[in-house]
Structure 1
């Protein structure tokens, strides 16, 4: 507030709004996001076209977008949002070994890792898992070649792995819940 003490306002000059983060001086979500990305160290460009222009059903595109931005209801997110409804302890339903986070479930879980390794073996690519799903989606692999068809197949295969992992995780949770209901008659 002290920096405003020396500011002289002129009542005869009309007020004007301006946004210094864009060349047009108008606020846009894009200019704000780019500025925020630079401050937080996030990659400034997420391959949105890769997700939204892919040749997969819309619900899978939407799902992949949510996964990339860590907005799916994995156990760690449920613990934060609704601790009374989350599975306890916070454990991955596929490997039953570690806590369930987006990056663990879709990349680092031993069950999921097997799927990724198999896909990369099919394409004869040596692979080291990236640290996050966001990074995985951002990396431009040409697993089935650089032709349009190869790119479409690669995207579909990667998105299918994410989708299948999520469906299997949910199916396991449902089986557990059905067993509990039968046991307790609720």
Structure 2
């Protein structure tokens, strides 16, 4: 995987092959950050990276100037790899080894962007639990976005707070946000 833009643009990061991950493709990541670049100043936001795996998305945010990044993954090897990489590049990434669903059941601080990259073989109910817990427990700021990566064959458009989705190759991103007062009337 490589970092697309920012301070570490072009840097390649090679994760150990034994990690149970499927990193977001460079093409999909570049398209995602083009959308986000038109909406946010990266140095002004906080990011929660769920099912963070190799940390691919966290590194991209850090390279673009985001200073408040929290990465959550249940796999110790993934957390160790993110910690080592963040230390090597002096990136401000805090890691927490936890089951994502248990973590989201708590009331935590709010984030401007929450990115979730769960296993593509999740059942629809498992995907639905992510936005449900995020919105139920107030994890997202008022102007924030929850982005769920999934296979293009999975349709999340009927879930509450769904806003839009974009497909890139076999990947899709579904975007969720808090409705504004005009939208909720």
TM-score normalized by structure 2?
Answer: 0.27
Higher strand share: 2
Which one has a larger percent helix, Structure 1 or Structure 2?
1
Structure 1 or 2, whichever has the larger Rg, is 1
TM-score by length of 1: 0.27
